[in-house]
Amino acid sequence: MQKIVIDGGARLGGQVRVAGAKNAALPLLLATLLGEGEHRIANVPDLVDVRTTCRLLERMGCGVEFARGRVKVEVNGLKCREAPYELVKTMRASVLCLGPLVGRFGQGRVSLPGGCAIGARPIDQHLKGLSKLGAKVVLEHGYVDVRARRLRGASIVLDMPTVTGTENLLMAAVLARGQTVIHNAAREPEVVQLAEVLNSMGARIAGAGSEEIVVRGVNELRPMDCRVIPDRIEAGTLLIAGAITSGDVLVRGARPEHLAALMEKLDEAGVAVGVASSGIRVKGPARPRAVDLSTQPHPGFPTDMQAQFMALMTLARGTAVVSERIFENRFMHVQELRRLGARIRLEGGRAVVTGVRALSGADVMATDLRASASLVLAGLVARGRTRVHRVYHLDRGYQRLDRKLRALGARIRRAPDRPPVAIR
Ligand code: EPU
């Protein structure tokens, strides 16, 4: 176990490069199941979730090599078509193998993901869509078993624009017979990249990035050779690190078209945000202004940036209302931010944040990936020392965030952490 130790107060400055996007890399890795042969993916972030996905592919019988940000996946038949409990319990995104497995091999079996720290997170929309495509879905012994001889195109109306649901159904539909239309589809950049890569493999997908995606099924796909898009959430987190420390930071590789909602909120908060050819630059004010926000599906403000933006708002002049509309329980960071001296009141799905002049360092505990990031951000400005425990959450989604922040001037390091003593 490790913890992150931060001595707050350093103003960040300089340049940092954003890594490849976790949430784009995971579906791409699983999409390799759709084509026989050797697939190549570049700019893959070295994260625990990526390693878990590689292990899953290996268990299924694929050859996987991962070195210096490049993954090579050799698909040559499969020896198993299952994502077991041990892997799914550590990474919900394993469910993304269902679409490719049933689409190409006629059967897939995945341990049913449970609830998680941010909410119940069912997969009913994935399963509804697969049934619409003609698959038989059986739930037993904690597993979902999906079978079909060959899927048939269909019209699917999602109840909400689910990101992995849209990705799973896209991957199922590309090899189905006939045309599939996904209505109320997710529009996230990661969905768009998946569709583009599938098209480069020979799929026929139109409309990705809009609410209606049309897929015309083909008989087979070639291997992919692609490069993962920059991680907009890591980029956003680094931008807030610059803003919250009243610093001046250029995040190289950050794409403004993926970060428009965040950039607008930063601007409203008094942060100077500039677009350079190499990325996005922020200059933080002495003290930000309070701004309200409400999370929404893309292109709205991303739920994956809510905790980090709240960290910024804890120091704002005035009161900000932060509404979480995607996940019902994504306020686990609130209690920990309060330990650092933040004034936050929870009212149902809203957090009312009244800015304070300064936070003060404390021991805090990470509960999920983005909550951990918000605690690190708050620690950068808190007076004195902050220790963030349970750092493994952070490492699921950020590639060496502490090193990147240190390179920008933060006083931050990792240290071994003793497991908490059980209270009898
Ligand atoms: N939902 C259902 N039924 C479904 C699917 C979703 O009720 O069948 C609900 C969810 O419970 C949630 C809402 O719909 O309330 C939206 O969830 P969505 O399915 O879009 O989330 P996801 O696909 O499971 C991805 C990201 C998350 C990110 C969300 C929202 C990946 C691997 N994960 O999850 O990323 O928060 O979209 O943008 O792409 C993270 O990186 O920290 C993370 C949690």
What are the residues facing 208 on neighbouring strands?
210
Nearest to 36 by CA among 256, 177, 223: 223
Token pair 């003060």: residue: 360
Domain residue limits, the chain:
2-19+230-416, 22-218
Helix or strand holding residue 184 (H, E): none
Quote the Cα angle for 260-366-280, to 5°: 25
CB of 367 shorter than 6 A to ligand 1 = no
CATH superfamily of 2-19+230-416: Enolpyruvate transferase domain (3.65.10.10)
Helix or strand holding residue 39 (H, E): strand 37-42
Query: In CATH terms, are 2-19+230-416 and 22-218 the same topology?
Result: yes
For the CA of 128, the closest atom of ligand 1 is 8
Whether 251 and 18 have beta carbons less than 8 Å apart is answered as yes
CA 93 to ligand 1 centroid distance, Å: 9
Indicate the pTM of the whole model: 0.97
Q: How many CA atoms lie within 13 A of 174 on its CB side?
A: 31
Going residue by residue through the chain (424 aa), what tens digit of pLDDT does each one get?
Answer: 899 999 999 999 999 999 999 999 999 999 999 999 999 999 999 999 999 999 999 999 999 999 999 999 999 989 899 998 888 888 889 999 999 999 999 999 999 886 667 777 889 999 999 999 999 999 999 899 999 999 999 999 999 999 999 999 999 999 999 999 999 999 999 999 999 999 999 999 999 999 999 999 999 999 999 999 999 999 999 999 999 999 999 999 999 999 999 999 999 999 999 999 899 999 999 999 999 999 999 999 999 999 999 999 999 999 999 999 999 889 999 999 999 999 999 998 899 999 999 999 999 998 899 999 999 999 999 999 999 999 989 999 999 999 999 999 999 999 998 765 655 5
CA 158 to ligand 1 centroid distance, Å: 13
User: In the sheet that 13-17 helps form, which strands lie side by side, from edge to edge?
Assistant: 13-17, 248-252, 279-283, 272-276
Give the pLDDT score at 420.
59
What per-residue string of b and e applies to 95-129 under the rule 16 or more CB within 10 Å gives b?
Answer: bbbbbbbbbbbebbbbbbbeeeebeebebebbbbb
CB of 160 shorter than 6 A to ligand 1 = yes
Give the pLDDT score at 421.
62
Q: How many CA atoms lie within 13 A of 370 on its CB side?
A: 26
Whether 47 and 396 have beta carbons less than 8 Å apart is answered as yes
Q: What fold is seen in the domain 22-218?
A: UDP-n-acetylglucosamine1-carboxyvinyl-transferase; Chain (3.65.10)
Instruction: Give the mutation target among 56, 91, 158, 160 for probing the ligand 1 site: most ligand atoms within 8 A of CB.
Output: 160
What are the residues facing 110 on neighbouring strands?
83, 144
Residue closest via CA to ligand 1's atom 29 equals 163
Query: For the chain, what is the radius of gyration of the CA atoms?
Result: 22
How far does Cα 290 stand from its chain's mean position?
Answer: 26
Residue closest via CA to ligand 1's atom 25 equals 163
Residue 335 tokens read as: 């209690």
97 annotated active-site: no
CA 267 to ligand 1 centroid distance, Å: 27
Specify the length of the chain in residues: 424
Nearest to 96 by CA among 8, 191, 201: 191
Burial class from Cβ neighbours inside 10 Å (0-12, 13-18, 19+) for residue 335 reads middle
CA 69 to ligand 1 centroid distance, Å: 25
Give the pLDDT score at 419.
64
CA dist 109 and 144 (Å) reads 6
CB of 165 shorter than 6 A to ligand 1 = yes
Q: What is the DSSP letter of 308?
A: H
CA dist 203 and 210 (Å) reads 18
